[in-house]
Amino acid sequence: MDCLFCKLVAKEIPATILFEDEDVIAFEDIMPQAPVHFLVIPKKHISTLNDIKEEDAAIIGKLPIVASKIAKEKKVDQSGYRVVMNCNEDGGQTVYHIHMHVLAGKQMTWPPG
């Protein structure tokens, strides 16, 4: 399948991997938008939030667990962080394999752009 993040899961393209188990992989974002910016993704290819099925609930449930574990390792759990999942064009999604952004290390603003 011609999917950037499936290739990353398959180690066909390099990444700075922060966490990996049988279901999930987390890695540094290649174009960080904050001092801390990493992505947490399911290894299973799911294109958008709209494509999550009931049977994916356990895997998807691991994303925030892994996100907060890495946030703690990076010592931003107490200062805080922003979690973002973009869906389709208006949401600003550019890679069509779902991913949870975790941004930290600066004061985030609201509303987002």
Beta strands in 11-51 (DSSP E): 17-20, 24-28, 36-42
Catalytic residue flag (residue 99): yes
**6 binding Zn ion? (CB under 5 A):** yes
C-alpha 32/C-alpha 35 separation (Å) is 7
Tell me whether residue 37 or residue 97 sits nearer to Zn ion (CB atom): 97
Q: With CB cut-offs between 5 and 8 Å by kind, which of ligand AMP, Zn ion, none does residue 6 bind? A: Zn ion
If one counts every other C-beta atom within 10 angstroms of the C-beta of residue 12, the result is 9
Query: Are the CB atoms for 102 and 85 separated by under 8 Å?
Result: no
Q: With CB cut-offs between 5 and 8 Å by kind, which of ligand AMP, Zn ion, none does residue 13 bind? A: ligand AMP
Beta strands in 1-113 (DSSP E): 17-20, 24-28, 36-42, 81-84, 100-104
Choosing from 37, 97, 99, 101, which is the catalytic residue?
A: 99
**3 binding Zn ion? (CB under 5 A):** yes
Q: Measured from the CB of residue 23, what is the shortest distance to ligand AMP in angstroms?
A: 19
C-alpha 99/C-alpha 63 separation (Å) is 9
**84 binding Zn ion? (CB under 5 A):** no
Residues that bind ligand AMP (CB under 6 A): 4, 13, 15, 27, 29-31, 39, 86, 92-95
Catalytic positions are 99
